[in-house]
């Protein structure tokens, strides 16, 4: 009896290793999935992936798919460009019509699993990438690998519902390595996200290298201690903490993200959340300092001086280099949690309020000179659109002098 039981267990385990089944119940769920579980297709090691080798983006997606299937199942598919008999085909069809005519049409795709094999079809390379991710997520994850995976016949038609599908990573308060950022981007791509909001400055640390201002990152990125208890207790570890990204590392992240059809939206938060910058350039604050890189969390009362002409020069330099590194059409300027206490008691800010005819501190712009001459901090970067925190929209007049044009982004 024992031998019979062991034999049945061995047969069950062997069958489990030999053939596993795909599951199309994934996240996010495609908009149309029609499955026939009575008929099966299969993929196994040695089978090919066909694609147009003259298209670099499609070739890259084919390589991604080969890698993903290998990592999940242990099955080693072969890259067989232009092979009409390949089991898996990546088809770029200019005549392909998206389910819906919208901003996400370029990401639309279909997947067909049937007698002809496994066909992924789209009008644009971005759509094929999304299709490959869907097929990837349908694969079982097998610790010990498998000889083959069975795929129920299916017709999938999909297209993202929203054109902007973003995730924010705050590297200002806590620094994350470039390797981690890339893993984060991989997770975003897996879930169909296309906008990486990269928070690069905070009271607790400055993370972006500005070559014209080398001390900004070198000194502004390091706080001397970090809070390790609830804020009111003020208990610290007394361990210096820091790190920043060089422009070369940022460009590498941008490239890595673009290969996964993700745009990187950089954020430099201002005029509040600037204590790390004020630590390096105390002349840009209303009191003149000294300031420290904040060791604890919360809303700090130290902000950029809105009446100091040097403030605008600083911002032009920072955002000029930021835009040279990041090609994103969106540049995030923060704008949130900016206490007005310092502005109320600052002679320079009060003089600027009077000069611009503003009614109170809530409308102070970080404006360094003539209104017409300096309304364009991002003048060198036509086509960019600002993005900012929701609360900033309540004080639009206080922000609009910073940028070259009004934007629907905030």
334 lies in the same domain as 185: yes
Return the DSSP state at 211.
Answer: T
Q: Output the pLDDT for position 387.
A: 77
- Domain final residue pick, 158, 176, 207: 158
| Whole-number pLDDT of residue 341 | 93
Say if 7 falls within a structural domain.
no
Beta bridge partners, 36, equal 153
Q: Name the 3-class secondary structure at 294.
A: coil
Residues 272 and 364 in one domain: yes
Domain CATH for 174: 3.20.20.80
Which of 91, 125, 158 is the last residue in one of the domains? 158
Please report the pLDDT score of residue 392 as a whole number.
56
Q: Are residues 170 and 140 in the same domain?
A: no
Predicted confidence at residue 331, as pLDDT, reads 93
Q: Is the pLDDT of residue 359 over 90?
A: no
Q: Extract the tokens encoding 362.
A: 């809530």
Residue 8 belongs to some domain of the structure = no
- In total, how many domains does the chain have? 2
Q: Kindly state whether residue 213 falls inside one of the protein's structural domains.
A: yes
pLDDT digits (tens, 9 = 90+) for 321-344: 999 999 999 999 988 889 999 999
pLDDT band at residue 368 under the 50/70/90 scheme: very low
User: What single string gives the DSSP state of each residue in 123-134?
Assistant: SSHHHHHHHHHH
Name the band, by pLDDT with cuts 50, 70 and 90, for residue 408.
Answer: very low
**Which token pair is 219?**
């000194």
DSSP 195: E
Domain for residue 5, yes or no? no
CA distance between the termini of the chain: 72
What CATH number corresponds to the domain at position 122? 3.30.379.10
Within this chain, do residues 97 and 214 fall inside the same structural domain, yes or no? no
Query: pLDDT value at position 138?
Result: 97
Examine the domain organization and report whether 146 and 75 are in the same domain: yes
| pLDDT score for 150 | 97
- In the predicted model, is pLDDT for residue 256 greater than 90? yes
In terms of domains, do 191 and 65 share one? no
Question: pLDDT for 234-250, tens place per residue?
Answer: 899 999 999 999 999 99
Distance CA 398, CA 366 (A): 8
Residue 354 vs residue 205, higher pLDDT: 205
Asked if residue 117 and residue 64 are part of one domain, the reply reads: yes
Residue 159, pLDDT > 90, answer: yes
Cβ distance 50 to 65 under 8 Å? no
Q: Which two tokens mark 356?
A: 């611009």
65 and 210 fall within a common domain: no
Q: Tell whether 224 and 366 lie within a shared domain.
A: yes
Q: Does 3 map to a domain?
A: no
pLDDT of residue 230: 86
Within a domain: 174: yes
Least confident residue range of 43-57, 131-145, 355-369, 392-406: 392-406
State which of 158, 175, 199 marks the end of a domain: 158
2-24 per-position pLDDT tens digit: 555 554 454 444 444 446 999 99
In 3D space, the residue among 208, 165, 221 whose CA is nearest the CA of residue 188 turns out to be: 165
pTM of structure = 0.88
How far apart (Å, rounded) are the C-alpha atoms in residues 139 and 26? 10
d(CA 319, CA 344): 27
Where does the pLDDT of residue 49 fall: very low under 50, low under 70, confident under 90, or very high at 90 and above?
very high
Give the structural domain span for 337.
166-402
CA distance 269 to 41: 52
> What is the mean pLDDT of the segment spanning 169-177?
98
Band of pLDDT at residue 369, cut at 50, 70 and 90:
very low
- The verdict on 90 and 230 lying in the same domain is no
Q: Using CB atoms within 10 A of its CB, is residue 290 exposed (0-12), middle (13-18) or buried (19+)? A: exposed
In a domain, 407, yes or no: no
Statement to judge: residues 188 and 93 lie in one domain: no
Within a domain: 190: yes
Query: Percentage of the chain with pLDDT > 90?
Result: 76
Structure-token pair, residue 62: 């084919």
**Residue 398 pLDDT level (bands cut at 50, 70, 90):** very low
The strand pairing partners of 330, in sequence order, are 385
Q: Does the pLDDT value for residue 57 go beyond 80?
A: yes
Same domain, 131 and 174: no
**pLDDT confidence of residue 383:** 66
């Amino acid at each position: 009896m024992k031998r019979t039981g062991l034999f049945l267990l061995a047969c069950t385990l062997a069958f489990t290793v030999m053939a596993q089944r795909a599951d199309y119940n994934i996240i996010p769920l495609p908009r149309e999935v029609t499955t026939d579980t009575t008929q099966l297709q299969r993929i196994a090691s040695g089978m090919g992936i066909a694609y147009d080798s003259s298209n670099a983006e499609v070739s890259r997606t084919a390589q991604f798919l080969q890698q993903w299937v290998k990592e999940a199942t242990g099955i080693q598919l072969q890259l067989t460009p232009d092979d009409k008999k390949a089991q898996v085909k990546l088809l770029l069809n200019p005549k392909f019509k998206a389910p819906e005519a919208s901003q996400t049409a370029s990401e639309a795709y279909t997947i067909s699993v049937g007698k002809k094999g496994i066909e992924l079809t789209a009008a644009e390379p971005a759509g094929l990438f999304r299709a490959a991710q869907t097929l990837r997520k349908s694969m079982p994850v097998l610790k010990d690998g498998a000889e083959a995976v069975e795929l129920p016949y299916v017709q999938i038609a999909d297209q993202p519902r929203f054109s902007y599908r973003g995730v924010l990573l705050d590297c200002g308060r806590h620094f994350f390595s470039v390797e981690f950022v890339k893993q984060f981007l991989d997770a975003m791509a897996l879930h169909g996200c296309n906008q990486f909001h990269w928070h690069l400055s905070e009271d607790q640390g400055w993370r972006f290298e500005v070559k014209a201002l080398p001390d900004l990152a070198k000194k502004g990125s390091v706080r001397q201690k970090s809070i390790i208890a609830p804020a009111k207790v003020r208990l610290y570890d007394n361990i210096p903490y820091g790190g920043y990204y060089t422009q070369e590392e940022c460009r590498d992240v941008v490239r890595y993200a673009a290969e996964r059809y993700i745009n990187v939206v950089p954020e430099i938060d201002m005029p509040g959340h600037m204590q790390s910058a004020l630590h390096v350039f105390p002349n840009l604050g209303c009191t003149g300092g000294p300031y420290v890189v904040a060791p604890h969390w919360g809303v700090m009362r130290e902000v950029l001086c809105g009446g100091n002409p040097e403030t605008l020069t600083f911002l032009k330099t920072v955002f000029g280099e930021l835009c040279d590194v990041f090609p994103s059409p969106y540049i995030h300027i923060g704008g949130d949690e900016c206490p007005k206490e310092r502005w109320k008691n600052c002679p320079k800010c009060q003089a600027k309020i009077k000069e611009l005819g503003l009614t109170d501190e809530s409308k102070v712009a970080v404006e360094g000179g003539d209104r017409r001459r300096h309304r364009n901090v991002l003048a060198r970067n036509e086509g960019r659109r600002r993005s900012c925190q929701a609360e900033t929209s309540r004080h639009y007049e206080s922000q609009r002098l910073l940028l070259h044009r009004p934007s629907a982004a905030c």
